[in-house]
Amino acid sequence: MTSLASNSVRLTDVIAPSFYDIHWDIIDGKHTHYWLSGGRGSTKSSFVSVAIIMDIMSDPEANAVVLRKVKDTLNDSVKEQLIWAIEALGVSQYWDMPETKLVLTYIPTGQEIRFRGADKPKKIKSMKFAKGYCKIIWYEELDEFTSMEEVRMINQSLMRGGPKFTVFYSYNPPKSANNWVNTEKNFTRDDRLTCHTNYLTVPQDWLGQQFIIEAEHLKVTKPLAYEHEYLGNVVGTGGEVFDNVQTRRISDEEIEEFYNIKRGLDFGYAIDPLAYTVSHYDAKHRILYIYHELYKVRLSNREAYEHIQHENKDNGYIYADSAEPKSISELLQYGLRIGAVKKGPDSIEYGIRFLQSLNSIVIDDTRCPETAREFLTYELDKDANGNFKAGYPDKNNHSIDSVRYAMNDEAIDFRDKKKQAADYDNSPEARVRRNIAKQGKPKKGVHAV
């Protein structure tokens, strides 16, 4: 087998400095999933292609499957990118690169890189290779894929029969923070490493002077577009409801110190799930910690009770949806301390506005994955003209409602203070003071009336 060490090409000539740490992380086998986001010219695809060629030439059992959402884009994108890597590493004599087939073969061993479109992900099944197994998977333009469920289905098919896997996800982040790709990146996984890069971390001579000129022109003329397209930042669409959400592990030690426990319950059964959440509210610092959830469809009240009484050993009070008096009565009979929240015509608005006003909403996305998903993806609806509709959408918000019920007393207090402040601002005394302020201080010899 050919050794890359005998090649005269230096890796610093083909890998940008921003990827050095990722390169060594892959070599050391520290992670399985590598999420590489960035703007135009960040060279993330170049790095992945080099990493794949190096891994196959170093590990005689390694094969790769490279995917894009649409099959027709494979030949002119990822296949050409990998051919570039082969030539950049100076090893083209060891590779069979047919023009008409979607495969690249390492000649000394017969290891392969295969290319597949994910137009119909269910058809991507476990693959057999003459030599080794599918060690490497690359999702190029990940944001073109439909959902994480689609990606997970493909991974489950391909990640079989080997001791170690490396999965690359490369993409330009969509604008919306609530897009599934941006949301998924926020979830905590010990076997995942994320890296965000942009053209500013790449040697300018790799990109060319004209690339820099175009980028700088957009920076001056359309700074928001520049930030998204070239820096690869999530700039938002303006419809995101919660911009104060953080996802991280909340330790057992932290939970033991929690004292202001808030429990909420949103009923559901056939289609909508029952959502039960447990939180701690740090009123001094205005931080809400969400660390437990029950989120399930077709769950009977008895089954919900059995879960809740196991979690809620002190039988703390539960705030529940007032639209289900029969279910509340049943849970009361089982022994739970539970009651309906007080609702009003503006309870949804002020409940959400209160949650928006918090300094942060910290969600343990390992313990509460569905709650994290709802808060991270909740977004205003648009009308046929692309304008945001008034009011908050009543969908994909079951855990949000549960949390809102749990914080109902605080939301009512928040609403009352806002109304008091508004009434004060509209009082005759306040209007007089504003008029005086607009007129400014009276001149010498002139008396204010």
Residue that is last in its domain, among 194, 229, 264? 229
Write the single-letter amino acid at 112.
Answer: E
Tell me which of 135 and 3 has the higher pLDDT: 135
Q: Provide mean pLDDT across the span 211-217.
A: 97
Confidence band for 429, pLDDT divided at 50, 70 and 90: low
Q: Is residue 295 part of a domain?
A: yes
Q: Does the residue 251 lie in any domain?
A: yes
Are 269 and 391 contained in the same domain? Answer: yes
pLDDT on residue 309: 96
Which of the residues 112, 140, 141, 374 is marked catalytic? 141
Q: Within this chain, do residues 186 and 299 fall inside the same structural domain, yes or no? A: no
User: What is the Cα–Cα distance from 249 to 178, expressed in whole angstroms?
Assistant: 20
User: For residue 60, how far is the Cα from the chain centroid?
Assistant: 35
Among 284-293, 317-326, 356-365, 437-446, the range scoring the smallest mean pLDDT is 437-446
Over residues 238-268, the pLDDT tens digits come to 888 998 999 999 999 999 999 999 999 999 9
Regarding whether 302 and 190 lie in a shared domain, the answer is no
Total domain count for the chain? Answer: 2
What phi-psi label fits residue 91: left (phi over 0), alpha (psi between -120 and 50 degrees) or beta?
A: alpha
For the question of residue 253 being annotated catalytic, the response is: no
Q: Is the distance from CB of 326 to CB of 306 less than 8 angstroms?
A: no
Quick one: 253 exposed, middle or buried, by C-beta within 10 A (0-12, 13-18, 19+)?
exposed
Q: Which among 142, 134, 66 has a CA at the least distance from the CA of 104?
A: 66
The mean per-residue pLDDT over the stretch 216-234 comes to 95
| pLDDT single digits (tens) 102-151 | 999 999 999 999 999 998 777 788 788 999 999 999 999 999 999 999 99
Q: Is residue 309 part of a domain?
A: yes
Q: Looking at the structure, tell me whether residues 153 and 212 fall in a common domain.
A: yes
Of 14, 25, 116, 19, the closest CA to residue 63 belongs to 116
E strand spans, 177-314: 192-197, 245-247, 261-266, 274-282, 287-296
Distance of alpha carbon 375 from alpha carbon 170, whole angstroms: 25
Whether residues 197 and 172 share a domain: the answer is: yes
Query: Looking at the domain assignment, is residue 380 inside a domain?
Result: yes
For residue 278, what are the domain limits? 245-413
| Shared-domain flag, residues 249 and 225 | no
Residues 105, 56 contacting (CB under 8 angstroms): no
- Contact call for residues 351 and 321 (beta carbons, < 8 A): no
323: CATH: 3.30.420.280
Given a contact cutoff of 8 angstroms between Cβ atoms, the answer to whether 97 and 104 are in contact is yes
Q: How far is CA 208 from the centre of its chain?
A: 33
In a domain, 45, yes or no: yes
Alpha-carbon distances, residue 239 vs 69, 235, 390 (angstroms):
27, 11, 11
Is 435 within the bounds of a domain?
no
Q: Over the stretch 381-415, which tens digit does the pLDDT of each residue have?
A: 888 888 888 889 999 999 999 999 999 999 999 99
89 and 212 together in one domain: yes
